């Protein structure tokens, strides 16, 4: 799943029931979104934001895999 950029607004993600690992992945994604939002007011940071988007997408894939594993149980 690719995150749509730029997000129109950052809305905290709900804490779905699941493992501590899922909650940590959600928290990590929220933190990355906050960092990217903070960078919006700076110049010459596109390369940093691009790297953070890639990291966000990797974590999103990890979260999706974890959700699939938990739904199998």
What string of DSSP letters covers 43-69?
Answer: SS-HHHHHHHHHHHHHHHHHHHHHHHH
**Model pLDDT, residue 3:** 54
DSSP class of 21 = H
The band of 69, judged by pLDDT with boundaries at 50, 70 and 90, is confident
Q: pTM (2 decimals)?
A: 0.74
Structure tokens that stand for 70 in this block: 């938990």
């Amino acid at each position: 799943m690719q995150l749509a950029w730029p997000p129109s607004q950052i809305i905290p993600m709900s804490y779905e029931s699941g493992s501590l690992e899922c909650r940590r992945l959600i928290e990590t994604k929220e933190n990355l979104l906050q960092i990217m939002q903070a960078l919006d007011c700076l110049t010459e940071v596109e390369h940093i934001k691009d790297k953070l988007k890639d990291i966000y997408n990797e974590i999103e894939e990890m979260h999706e895999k974890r959700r699939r594993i938990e739904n199998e149980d």
